[in-house]
Amino acid sequence: MFYSLSLYFSLTIFVLGLLYKISNWFRYSIGIEGSGIPTSARIIAAVRGIITTLFSSKIITLLRVFILDVILQARTFREDFSRWLMHMCIYGGFMLLLLMHALSKFTTAILFADYYSTLNPFLFLRDLAALLMILGLFLAMFRRYFRKGWRPATNAMDLYAILILAVIMISGILLEGAKIVSPTVFQSMVQEYLIQPDEEQIRSLSSYWVQEFGAVSPSLEGPFDSKVLQEGRVIHEMNCMQCHSRPQWGVAGYAVSRLMKPMAEELDRADLPATLWYLHFLACFLGLAYLPFSKMFHIFASPLSLMANAVMDRNTSAPANIATKQILELDACVHCGACTQRCSVAVAFGEIPNVNILPSEKIASLKALAAGRNLSSRELRTVQQGLFLCTNCNRCTLVCPVGIGLRDLWVSARELLLQRSLPESLLLSPFSLYRGLTQEFIGQTRYRNPLDLIRNAIAAGFPQEQGRDPSSPFGFGEKALLSGLNASIQANSFSHCYGCMTCSNACPVVRNYAKPGDVLGLMPHQLMHAIGLRQWDLVFESMMLWNCLGCYQCQENCPQNVQVTEILYELKNVAVSRIDKKSA
């Protein structure tokens, strides 16, 4: 009764959770593709997309991906063998146990007429699957906690996934062990399967089971008379053997039962089998009910992500479907960290403590954004910086085991975020190259607005903070700037400038304009001079800084060996932290 009640209760939560999560795929959006498309249109587009795909030659691609990448997990295999092995153990064991054990009523019992859970090969296979899973979980823990090399931190959800499976597995094995050595369980089975046995028969059978199968009987002690054993064997062969293989075949449970044997009677009196039984099925039901809200939801989302990404791309698919796919992808992520391990710029995290730089950690922020959670403008800027500090090298996409189109996801999400009018200083760096090259995809208005915003933020100037030294750009004295200059070579060499203008004449940017001063503000030689005069407002408002190519013509040609380019780089670094601080 309690069992069915809790089963139906958790099943209800599971189904409702599933519906809720799937509805999110059509209700939420995270990128520019989805903005302004109502849920109904998204659902219609999805149905249409699925039907046209299923009735096209793409069905072959889907089948191939399903076999190679979903079932055999070839993507994971190619990238990281030990991750593949770990996951295959867990996933293989899980599927076997789910289909042959948890759902045995609907699968094995129907497929095999003579199915008994206590009969081989089912008995052995069940334990084998459990052992595989435990091995996989062990590898997962090892990879997360003991392996050398950097990987993203394990979060609560990662730990939950490992723990819930571990509890289910361990309780199941303990339960099997406890039943093997439980006299009560033995008695009840005798009652159930033997037809009106007398004391003598029970004694013989018990003796045989104690001797041969490691069962425990409180009143019996070996060595047994061979005649008794012989009689026990006959009774066993007549009544038990058809549906019970040697318990030794339940290798894991049997091994555990050997450890329990010395205290078997105490454990039995404490009703251990029943306790473990409750623990086992309640853990299963908890896992089931919580599945849609946990990382385990990837069981559904990841295969869909793999298949969707195999037949969709942002150039040919309907924007509504791309938007839907992106939310699905957020659910498909298992936080394995493969993307971060291969990320071109993850290394920057060592100097810029923003976890959103790491692709595997961006996903959590995108989930919050997609769900419409209210983030402060400071949090939004952090996410935006993380999304923009990306070379678009696409390595994350190529290594993602669940096939998420990560680069497209970053691009799409960052462009939507950039429309929120938070100035982004990284736009003024070569990180913008990919954006420039793909501006047609972004759309002209959406492309230009953020650039205008950051330029205006610079042009608005840098009013001196009150109560600070007005001659200082940062409030902590220009000494820090001039001597430190982040140790770029001889950056204080500006003082050697004698204003010959060679740098400005060598500058291809300056030479591009008839009246460079009008467009650029201070030219390089003037910048060197203004630094000497501590005219920081002029220095930092000069658009020359942001139109500098970093081509080193100025520095190479300087007769005084002034490190003009290095100084411009340094000023840009300072200006960026000023802009970021000002608009924080």
Chain residues in the site for other proteins (CB under 8 A): 148-150, 342-348, 350-352, 389, 391, 393, 425-437, 439, 451, 486-489, 508-509, 512, 546-547, 549-553, 555-556, 565, 569-570, 572-573, 576
Cα–Cα distance between 198 and 193 in angstroms, integer? Answer: 13
Q: How far apart are CA 545 and CA 547, in angstroms?
A: 6
Rounded-to-5 percentages of helix, strand, coil across the chain: 70, 0, 30
Nearer to other proteins, 427 or 501 (CB): 427
* Rounded-to-integer distance, Cα 516 and Cα 501, Å: 13
Q: CB-based contacts of 498: which residues, under 8 Å, 6+ apart?
A: 560
Nearer to other proteins, 275 or 573 (CB): 573
**SS (HEC) of 38-78:** CHHHHHHHHHHHHHHHHCCCHHHHHHHHHHHHHHCCHHHHH
Least distance (Å) between residue 9 CB and other proteins: 47
Minimum CB separation of residue 164 from other proteins in Å reads 31
What is the closest distance, in whole angstroms, from the C-beta atom of residue 506 to other proteins in the complex? 10
**Could you give the residue ranges of the DSSP H alpha helices within 181-260?**
183-193, 199-213, 226-239, 251-260
Nearer to other proteins, 84 or 546 (CB): 546
Closest approach of other proteins to the CB of residue 345, in Å: 5
- Residue closer to other proteins by CB (options 54, 352) is 352
Report the alpha-carbon distance of residue 52 to residue 235 in Å, rounded.
Answer: 63
398/404 Cα distance (integer angstroms): 9
Please name the residue that has the structure tokens 């990448």.
Answer: 69
Kindly state the smallest distance separating residue 429's Cβ from other proteins, in Å.
4
Is 584 in a helix, a strand, or coil?
coil
The nearer residue to other proteins, 217 or 341, going by C-beta atoms, is 341
Q: Which is nearer to other proteins, 367 or 578 (CB)?
A: 578
Residue whose CB is less far from other proteins, 148 or 227 = 148
What is the spatial distance between Cα 37 and Cα 30, in angstroms, rounded to a whole number?
A: 12
Q: Cα–Cα distances in Å, from 461 out to 454, 538, 539, 575, 578?
A: 11, 9, 10, 10, 10
Nearer CB in complex with other proteins: 350/463: 350
Q: Please, what is the minimum distance in Å from the beta carbon of residue 31 to other proteins?
A: 19
Distance separating alpha carbons of residues 157 and 323, to the nearest angstrom: 25
CB of 353 to other proteins, least distance (A): 11
Tokens representing residue 534 in the block: 């501590």
b or e along 297-311 (b: 16 or more beta carbons within 10 Å of the residue's beta carbon)? bbebbbbbbbbbbbb
Q: How far is the CB of 417 from other proteins (least distance, A)?
A: 17
The whole-angstrom separation of Cα 520 and Cα 509 is 9
Min. distance of Cβ 354 from other proteins in angstroms?
11
Token pair 């479907």: residue: 321
Exposure on the CB side of residue 246, measured as CA atoms within 13 A: 9
CB of 451 to other proteins, least distance (A): 7
Cα 235 to Cα 201: distance, rounded to the nearest angstrom? 7
Q: How many residues does the chain have?
A: 584
Q: Which is nearer to other proteins, 288 or 558 (CB)?
A: 558
CB of 59 to other proteins, least distance (A): 22
Closest CB to other proteins among residues 223, 350 = 350
Please identify, using beta-carbon distances, which residue of 60 and 489 lies nearer to other proteins: 489
